[in-house]
Amino acid sequence: MRSQRWLKRQGRLAGFSALSVVAALSPASYDRITGRGLAGMLCLGAWQMLPGYLLASILISTVLTRIVAVTAASYGLSHLALEAIVRVLVLELIPLAAALFVALRVAPVTMQRLGRPAGDPPPAYRDLIPYTVGSAGAVIVLAVLSGISALAVAYLVVHGISQWALADYARLIGQVFDPTMAAVFSIKLMLFAVVVGIAPTTVALDAGPLDPVVRQMRVMARLLLMLMVIEATLLILPRL
């Protein structure tokens, strides 16, 4: 019985997520009110925190790049330092960091606004669009901008302000972002954005006797688990 209830619940979540994606992709779902709410969520998830987030991203990128460069030089592997930085920092850490940041920043607000007591009808899918699309857009914006800044920082830390290595660095980036890795990176970023956008809205399905804090913790645990599964899966699949 417990397994049946679990499967039924997962089916409800899957159906809810699919319908949320369909609503978000439908042009008919967008009107002035939806656009205003979407702009507000984008502002909350990305614009308000963008300067601080980019500053933190630049500082962390500088420290990690310096550590990797010095360590590689001590082993005579300086020529591999930049490639390692791009692969680990830009391809793996930055998308996950952006998703976690937006989730921690926006998800509590989303769950607080969409939480409902038992007996109340769930919100319409159109009402969820500002939260789903706004959070997803914030993940993409932060990941792309912090990735670009990390690439610039990596070059400056290793080569300084000289221009002699720009051509080689551009060639290295092209080698790292080959068609396969570019596709994996794009898929990962889109999946992270979808999960961060949709997972907090599933609190609308959890109306019942549970304490609101417990419901929100369950949603956050589900979100983090899905992010980890996506990260692990896309780490393994390209190597099979």
Question: Could you write out the DSSP letters of every residue in 173-206?
Answer: HHHHT-HHHHHHHHHHHHHHHHHHHHGGGGGGG-
22-31 mean pLDDT: 84
Please report, for residues 13, 90, 148, 174, 228, the alpha-carbon distance to residue 237 in angstroms, rounded to integers and kept in the order given: 25, 18, 25, 21, 14
Q: Which helix (H) or strand (E) holds 120?
A: none
203-227 mean pLDDT: 77
Q: Is the pTM of this model over 0.75?
A: yes
pLDDT at 98: 93
pLDDT digits (tens, 9 = 90+) for 77-107: 777 888 888 888 898 899 999 999 999 888 8
CA neighbours within 13 Å on the CB side: how many for 35? 5
Domain count, the chain: 1
196-222 mean pLDDT: 78
4 — pLDDT class (breaks 50, 70, 90): confident
- Say whether pLDDT at 208 is over 60: no
pLDDT at 79: 73
Instruction: Print the domain residue range for 90.
Output: 2-239
Average pLDDT of the chain, as a whole number: 85
71 — pLDDT class (breaks 50, 70, 90): confident
